[in-house]
Copies of this chain bind each other. A is one copy, B any other.
Amino acid sequence: MKQSKLLIPTMRENPNDAEAKNLQLLLRAGFIRQVSGGVYAYLPLAMRVLKKMSKIIEEEFEKIGAVEIQMPTLLPLPLLEKSNLDDYDGKAYNLKDRNGKEFVLGSVYEGLISELIGDEISSYKRLPLTLFQTTTKYRNDKRSRLGLFRSHEFILSDAYSFHATTNSLNEMYQAYQKAFNRIFERLGVKVKSLLGDSQINGQTDVLEYMVLSESGDKIGCFSDESDYAADLQAATSAFTSKKSHEPHKEMSKVVFDECKTLAQAAEDLDIPLQKTIKIRFYIAGSQPVLVLVRADQKVNELKVKKMLQVQELKVADETQAEQYFNSPLDSIGPVGVSEDCKIYADLQVQDLANALTGGNEVNTYLKNVNPDDDFPIEQYADLRLVKEGDISPDNKGTLQLKKGIEVGRMIKVGTYFSERLKTAVLDENGQHIPIQMGYYELGISRLLAMVVEQNSEQKGINWPAEIAPFDLHIVQTNMDDENQTVLTNQVEEMMMEAGYQVLVDDRQERGGVKFADADLIGCPVRITVGNKADEGVVGIKFKQTQATIEVKQEELVSTLSILMSSES
């Protein structure tokens, strides 16, 4: 294809307003343009890459029996409310049509597709069945950032498997893991799988696929000595009880002249943070609860929600503190609390003796507090957020925390939706059984951005062979040189006959400009038709290794065939 017929608006300088590396590279190399914050147009080169990516996903998904569908974008609000909009976290774009009917722009389809299956499938004989779609989804984020990692419009492949038995679901879940791994390999992107967090009760085996990146908005926890890897919210650490043997002292009140945090109070009193108890006051559903961790730790609210089996956990406000404790939020303590308010504590709290904690009065703390003696604990559990250096839960190594971007996810959704929507099939005994479901998603535009970030250097992108916009980039250095023009045309034809996808820079530009653009665009191989055109000699440059050689025209096909297979 002639470059003059494509729209590839390269830029010499980094655009001012592009902070994310993927955005800088894709803008500079002329693959995309921003239409509005977080909303992008995919130009011809990006389209070629996206189509190759979608094709790979289609091939790998179809290999394991999935079939493609396309659900609409305009989702009627009542239908969503019936299924799963409340998992949606306020990130929906809402709109009304001219008749006042309410819609949401498509983003989650589990409920709708579950309902479709429930309507159309009535017998276990029609299961398993796996559907997928690769479509644009919408997220009404407060602020778009990180380029294609977190855009308002994004391309997602989402697959849904339906089963009569847990065994069948388990098999498909494993098949999808293999399919994901093949896809990542073909895309040329290094991805880690982590234990993920599930916001929905009853869903199990959440697996998150994360690519490490300094600009990431997710945190993964990795053992430095084992395979343990988990999302920060899902991560646990090994806990070995080391109960304090200090004799319990008499609890006493400390009143400060001014407002102090627990950490400040501990410092003033020369008490280590490891001997303090931090209080978090939540409304779980409609119940008030106190959650206690050491002040050097943080509460993992997801763990609290799971322990309490509630969908909603809200940090209480000053009004509620006043109502339940007659105290400012900062000074709430666990001693003397009404029985209506249950107290839950992290396992570490059980080991403490003579600790410092809030006193339920303004500027007041309590010294020498002993859990169970001085206040009742409803339950001890692992409720803390893991920290860098914590012992891995398999007791092998310590946890390292690393930033990353989530590019995929799979979940055994189980019967969550079929119970909610009352969709069932008849089993071989004629009994109604709920349909089991699996969910598998891959962020296509995110993966595009990630491929770019992982495969680039200062001068531009280095596309992995299978998804490069073109295999070869032929650069004619002087458009006025007749020998070069003849040779360029011959080489283009030879290369196309040999089955390569070829981009020919036929623009009336200096060689230097063309080389710089070829570096930015990043096709795996550049063929230069330059000064030695009259001898029938062209230059080959491999983008990845920067290796260059010169070959005679007649040896070009065989040379490339050997070198490209050894390069990849």
Binding site for B on A (CB under 8 A): 1, 4-7, 9, 33, 35-36, 39-44, 46-48, 50-51, 65, 67-76, 79, 90, 93-95, 97-99, 101, 103, 105, 112, 116-117, 119-121, 125-126, 129-131, 136, 138, 140-142, 152-153, 507-508
Given known contacts A69-B41, A97-B140, A75 and B5 CB-to-CB distance under 8 angstroms: no
A39 near B74 (CB under 8 angstroms)? Answer: yes
Contact partners of A136 in chain B: CB under 8 A: 73
How many subunits of this chain does the assembly comprise?
2
Q: Report the minimal beta-carbon distance from A100 to chain B, rounded to whole angstroms.
A: 11
Contact partners of A65 in chain B: CB under 8 A: 5
B47 near A508 (CB under 8 angstroms)? Answer: no
A72 near B41 (CB under 8 angstroms)? Answer: yes
A116 near B40 (CB under 8 angstroms)? Answer: no
Contact partners of A94 in chain B: CB under 8 A: 95
Jot down 5 A-B pairs with beta carbons below 8 A, ordered by A: A5-B67, A41-B69, A73-B153, A74-B138, A95-B95
Q: Interface on chain A toward B: helix, strand, loop, or mixed SS?
A: mixed
Among B41, B42, B46, B508, the residue within 8 A (CB) of A125 is B508
Q: Report the minimal beta-carbon distance from A403 to chain B, rounded to whole angstroms.
A: 25
B67 near A42 (CB under 8 angstroms)? Answer: no
In the bound complex, what is the Cα–Cα distance between A74 and B137 (angstroms)? 11
A6 near B67 (CB under 8 angstroms)? Answer: yes
A152 near B74 (CB under 8 angstroms)? Answer: yes
Contact partners of A7 in chain B: CB under 8 A: 67, 69, 116-117, 120-121, 129, 131
Contact partners of A507 in chain B: CB under 8 A: 125
A36 near B79 (CB under 8 angstroms)? Answer: yes
Contact partners of A6 in chain B: CB under 8 A: 67
Among B51, B72, B142, B508, the residue within 8 A (CB) of A39 is B72
Contact partners of A116 in chain B: CB under 8 A: 7, 33, 41
